[in-house]
Structure 1
Amino acid sequence: MSARPEVLFPLFAALTSLEGVGPKTAQNMGGLGVEKPRDLLFLLPFSGIDRTLKETVQGADLPATLTVEVEVGQHRPPRNKGGAYRIDVIDSQIAFQLVFFHARGDYLSKLLPTGQRRVVSGKVELFDGLAQMVHPDHTVRVEDAEQIPSFEPVYPLTAGVTQKPLSKSIASALERVPQLDEWIDSTQKDLKKWPDWQAAIKTVHAPKSIGDLAQTVPARERLAYDEFMAHQLTLGLARANRRRAPGVESHGSGTLRNQVLSGLPYKPTGAQLRAIDEITADLASPQRMNRLLQGDVGSGKTLVAFMALLAVVEAGGQGVMMAPTEILARQHLEGLQPLAESAGVVLELLTGRDKGREREAKLSALKEKKIQILVGTHAVFQKDVEFSDLRLAIVDEQHRFGVRQRLELGRKGENADVLVMTATPIPRSLALAQYGDMDVSVLDEKPAGRQPIKTALISDERVNEVVSHLRGAINEGRQAYWVCPLVGESEVSDLIAAEERFKTLRALLGDDVVRLVHGQMPPSEKDAAMADFVAGRVQVLVATTVIEVGVNVPNATIMVIERAESFGLAQLHQLRGRVGRGSAASTCLLMYKAPLSENGQKRLTVLRETEDGFQISETDLQMRGAGDLIGTAQSGLPRFRVADLESQTALMDVAQSDARKLLHDDPKLTSARGKAARVLLWLMEQDQAIRLISVG
């Protein structure tokens, strides 16, 4: 393992080595995510206080922070214990008071001797018609006035850490900032007029005005770029490392695929054919595949995935396709079984429900390669599940699946190729941050014969009209989803809302017409209710959001979403995608509670105007931010200190191509710029990347 470069030692020393930081303060700084001097450098000011010297307090819009020169007048110690200590002062035009609590008179008479002039800076407020400055932030002699910064940066705080000592410890950390060799490509740096790293760090901590706190100022932008660059180098190294890991070359003959394609009643879209080509080329190459297949709702991912599975079967191997829930796994099975039969391929399902003899029979068939394609839930991870020759693992619905699971699945087949499918269109910046180590295939066309979905906004006061519209559709033999609102944080209140709606609809439409599904049900009941709906035994399914992903009921043509304004855009788009899967025209009704907020209005209007999931996800990202979009806790997204994924996508783009080019030209990072990049990785604590270079 290569060691941390010596030039960075001072930044990784103990916090207590900084001026004025004792063990207690160091411990409290943990609340800001600060554990060493380096962390203080990346704790940037978010605001600032104007402390330029003013003539007078007179005429200022109070309360305000002001800096004035005063003549010190009479001291008025408190009459009773715990009272306020007051000092009369006068500036060039008006008299006011400085007020101190729990103050020591001897200290104050030294600090502010009567008859002398001082410059004071602090918050001035009116109290009983008299202007007061309580506990000035700064009190200095007139000749030392320039000690007070004309614009003072304001830092985020936490319990036990106040502005003054924090600023002092940052100043102490800044004294240790070394001059580092440049890791940014010189043309990029000149183009953007970015300062060197050392200058950038010093500049961001010394803003001259509010404008200097903007993301777009060169020093801040440069530091954001450094974070993106380090992150992209890490992903790039991981990618290169995986490419070095030998894969198995699977050269399919094409016979099974042609058999299936010729039997289809429709032609695959151009996007599907392109994705199939990209994937089969990866399967045939000696490196391991690590590809993301991104497609909007209904863009035909399943067919692409099945073609990939057939390619490895043609080459004599096995494939596995994993879904996050049993319902989805069964649905894949139902969708793929007829295709598999037409090609004479053995496809089997393995879920947590398989027990005893049945399970044993499946496992031994798998081991003897009698099962060529396995579809399942995470039950396929279990120790006793062994393949004879696993070549391809397909994971459905990535966001429930971290990098760790991707790796575990890969271990089931030494060097198995991995294809991840997601129906959630991911904005480009998040895709770069989260899947920058993967190659991406995008399905951006809808298969022929898909009808557009008519989307309408309707106030919940018109719920009776919606019900009568529903009644008409049911009489024509159609089916409908009715999704109930997200009420609060708790699933219990969501459930109450769903149960209420279920009761009223049952009373209006008939007992045997309506069923309820929600997250609190035992899985077997949920599956049974869904199965009845899929089979057409029930016409209306009232649901909390459990139906979001993947369920396929071509006969369902109406989607009612109640309190639509309480859902995120991407989620609404996913829900809407549950209808419009057959040949009949479909409708999605977004019911909202008036009045709509401006944001709510914007979200629902975007949805009404477009069915393009990628456009919708970009809007969602702008409106909600990356953390909310995928739930930061389990998203696996990097946490950046300076950079901002939402607004700096273009910067992330450049960082990615720059990182890839650097690694292409200098895979071991041994050139001058490569060595500088190693220092960047240490500085940004990308230990995983550092391990990869040292191994490489």
Structure 2
Amino acid sequence: MRLFQLPLTKIQGVGPQKAEELHALGILSVGHLIEYYPFRYEDYRIRDISEVKDGERITVQGTIASMPYLQRYGGKSRLISRVTVGSTLVTAVWFNRTFLKDQLTIGREITLTGKWDQRRRHLTVADSEFPDRGAAKTGTLQPVYSVGGSITQSTIRKLIERAMTQFGEHIPEILPEELLQRHALIPRREAIARIHHPENTREGQEARRRMVYEELFLFQLKLQAYRAMHMKQPDGIVHPVNNDEIRQFVGALPFELTNSQKQVINEILHDMKQPFAMNRLLQGDVGAGKTVVAAVSLYATIRAGHQGAIMVPTEILAEQHARSLGKLFEPYGIQVGLLTGSLTDRKRRDLIASLQMGLLDIVVGTHALIQEDVFFRSLGLVVMDEQHRFGVNQRSILRRKGMNPDVLTMTATPIPRTLAITVFGDMDVSTIRERPKGRKPIKTYSVKHGMMDRVLGFIRKEAEQGRQTFFICPLIEESEKLDVQNAIDLHVQLTQALPDMTIGLLHGRMSAAEKEATMALFAAGETTVLVSTTVIEVGVDVPNATLMIVMDADRFGLSQLHQLRGRVGRGEHQSYCILIADPKSENGQERMRAMTDTDDGFEISRRDLEIRGPGEFFGTKQSGMPEFRLANLLNDFEVLEQARDDAAELTASEPFWSSQQYAGLRDFLAREAKQHAEPLD
């Protein structure tokens, strides 16, 4: 019996209307209801009141010691009675429960659950039961589910209980016996029953451990099966890399590569030599030197007779990459083109024709690269910069512009290991951990809004030494909803406060030509201060800029602040980051502490994940970040790594693809492939 194909109306007491209400919660079948897990439990186990801390939620048993007293006020009511709990006389208070007044008789036993006020010996009662009538909740852990509409906690508990009674025996085991034994996991049917109704904490933990492992294992199985299938199909481009040519190219660079950069270049070139299409993630902190690694990889594909493409999220970054790569490759006769949405029709037609004829070796572009009429003569390598800004579909379209080209995705948002394994489990991951030689750590300070005069003094001090300043704020124009400084007003204010300096303005609503002109002036040192929105967050490189000021910094995420900070500190001079924040913003202050404590992007990432949670970490639902029902990537990382290793071992073995004992897992993969129409990108 396939429970996920069984309609909810098969459950006793569920008619069409109730089924519709459950559908609104994402519960579409009997299987969905059975696997609709609680997100916490209410503890109704009786405790010794002497061990309870102030403010805790507790359940105690006692005897009513006084007649109840009813108070009414403003249409509401408060019922007060004294209850003897052990040797303690407790004042119990019920709000809006007038019907209990006649039941609270002296000498009657009662079980109370509520919030304990230790100083006043006062219990605000949320729940109460009388043992002489049967106490259904007392001594139990009651599941708490996400509910809405007319579906209450009581309703969902009853429906799940009925579903388990009617169909529980049909819950299939998914995991093979070897994995159950290896990790001492309880059977699936027992685990699901215990998750809904654990007898005690240990039993609930065992049930959760089993189901968390299953959830993470099945997710990893999809990724690892895709990898295993991919490795069986040698349909990629083999790049005959000439090591001597690569060494000469690297030796001619105006700086020395770090050991970390050399290591990841070796990993990438090794992949490019193979007959399997490369799918590698290159991650590194801001300013770690990822672009030059991409340049070496592009040089290798061009020397092998192919073309390269770099896709970036903004026109400013595309223009910068096109300029820097053009300068780098010019001595080798390698032609670099720029394709963005702001090109004239004629220039765009000429560029596309050059690509198709092979006259252009490298094209740098934004989303314009994935338009239908863009074709390559022989696309050998695709580089996705700041890849989390692009959806899965966009990445797939660019890959299909060639015959299984190698793909190198890059991110300057260092990803905690658990997220790298989860989101990029189908990729190999290369990490640059060293900073380029000569880079000084950026000194970071958090200040209040009232310290603007000192901030302006800092700008003047840096300007006197010939240095430049970025001044970032969250919005372009004034918003009634958010009381934040905006770029246009700030530009006016700074122009008045610093009349002897040239103040530039950059924001997302400017045309590409205006942005390029503004950035060119700043890069040339003709603008002292650049007021900007976060359009400069990624990749913009001005070595003479030594001061980054972020207005309303508490409005930004940690990783975004770290990206902004990375726009300075790119030259030989000491650089600074000043975060102007609201001291009353609790989350904001937590972020400010993290920023002033460390400039390590991996540590920043870990703290950002703790503060925001995995779902918000990438800032986009298209990032590939899965939604887990039970697993928590912060706490369950060891289980995730074990599940990944198990899935990789299993899919690499021949019996997995042929033996009957794994037929259930192969069916699962087939259903997933059918549901998503194609394998994970």
Shorter-normalised TM range: 0.7 to 0.9
Q: For 1:466-477, what aligned pairs fall within 5 Å after superposition?
A: 466-477=455-466
Shift in alpha-carbon separation, 1:666–1:676, aligned structure 2, 3 A: farther
TM-score by length of 1: 0.82
Q: Which runs of 5+ in 1 are unaligned?
A: 1-5, 55-60, 71-83, 104-111, 126-130
Corresponding residue for residue 219 of structure 1: 207
Separation in structure 2 between the aligned mates of residue 664 and residue 594 of structure 1, nearest angstrom: 54
The alpha carbon displacement at 1:30 in A equals: 2.2
The SS at the match of 2:286 is: coil
Question: What is the aligned counterpart of 2:594 among 606, 614, 627?
Answer: 606
Aligned twin of 1:431? 420
Counterpart for residue 118 of structure 2 = none
Quick check: 1:202 aligned with 2:193?
Answer: yes
After superposition, the Cα gap between the structure-2 partners of 1:350 and 1:256, relative to the gap in structure 1 and judged at 3 Å, is farther
Residues 1:633 and 2:625 aligned together:
no
Considering only aligned residues, what root-mean-square deviation do their CA atoms show, in Å?
Answer: 4.3
Within a 5 Å distance, the mapping from 1:81-480 to structure 2 comes to: 150-175=140-165, 176-177=167-168, 178=170, 180-181=172-173, 183=175, 186=178, 189-190=180-181, 192-209=183-200, 217-245=205-233, 246-254=235-243, 256-480=245-469
SS state of the match for residue 393, structure 1? strand
C-alpha distance after superposition, 1:10-69 (max 9, x if no partner): 343001111221111111112322111222222222344455699xxxxxx999988899
Q: Does 1:665 align with 2:653?
A: yes
**1:645-684 matches, cutoff 5 A:** 645-666=633-654, 669-678=657-666
User: How many percent of aligned residue pairs carry the same amino acid?
Assistant: 38
| Closer/same/farther in 2, CA of residues 502 and 385 from structure 1, 3 Å limit | same
SS of equivalent residue, structure 2 residue 156: helix
Is the CA contact (8 Å cut-off) linking 2:558 and 2:595 kept in structure 1?
A: yes
1:557–1:580 contact (8 Å) kept in structure 2: yes
Match of residue 27 from structure 2: 34
The aligned runs of 1:509-528 (5 Å cut-off) are: 509-510=498-499, 513-528=502-517
Q: Which moved more, 1:39-48 or 1:392-401?
A: 39-48
**In the comparison of the two structures, how many residue pairs are matched?**
651
Q: Give the drift of 1:341.
A: 0.9
Change (3 A) 1:243 1:688: farther
Deviation at 1:287, TM superposition (A): 0.8
Query: Does the Cα contact within 8 Å between 2:129 and 2:135 map onto a contact in 1?
Result: no
Task: State the distance in 1 between where 2:397 and 2:385 align.
Answer: 15
Alignment partners' CA distance in 2, 1:483 and 1:329: 21
Instruction: Say whether 1:686 aligns with 2:677.
Output: no
Instruction: Note closer, same or farther for the CA distance 1:688–1:651 as it changes in structure 2 (3 Å cut).
Output: farther
Change (3 A) 1:152 1:257: closer
Q: Unaligned stretches of 5+ in structure 2?
A: 48-54, 65-76, 116-121
Change (3 A) 1:655 1:134: closer
Distance in 2 separating the partners of 1:623 and 1:119: 45
User: For residue 628 of structure 2, what is the amino acid of its counterpart?
Assistant: F
Write the distance in 2 (CA, Å) between the matches of 1:559 and 1:147: 57
Q: Secondary structure at the match of 1:412?
A: coil
Q: Distance in 2 between matches of 1:370 and 1:487?
A: 40
The residue matched to 2:372 in structure 1 has which SS?
Answer: coil
CA distance 1:248–1:48, shift in 2 (3 Å):
closer
- Give distance in 1, aligned partners of 2:98 and 2:584: 51
Give the residue type in structure 2 aligned to 1:459: K
5, 18, 23: which is aligned to 1:12? 5
| Contact in 2 for aligned 1:121/1:137 (Cα 8 Å) | yes
Of the three residues 16, 31, 42, the one matched with 1:23 is 16
On the 8 A contact 1:455/1:587 being kept in 2, the answer is yes
Q: Take 2:523 and 2:655, find their aligned partners in 1: how far apart are those partners? A: 53
1:587 is aligned to 2:573: no
1:688–1:511: structure 2 CA closer, same or farther, 3 Å change rule? farther
SS at match of 1:659: helix
- TM-fit CA distance, 1:146: 6.9
What is the alpha-carbon distance in structure 2 between the residues aligned to residue 628 and residue 413 of structure 1? 33
Work out which structure has the larger RCO, using CA pairs closer than 8 Å and 6 or more positions apart in sequence: 1
1:452 positional shift: 1.9
1:484 aligns with 2:473: yes
How far residue 494 of structure 1 moved from its aligned partner, in angstroms, is 7.2
The match for 1:571 is 560
Partner Cα distance (1:100, 1:483) in 2: 52
For residues 557 and 391 of structure 1, do their structure 2 counterparts lie closer, same or farther at Cα, with a shift above 3 Å needed? same
Task: Tell me: CA distance 1:564–1:63, structure 2 relative to 1, closer, same or farther (3 Å).
Answer: closer
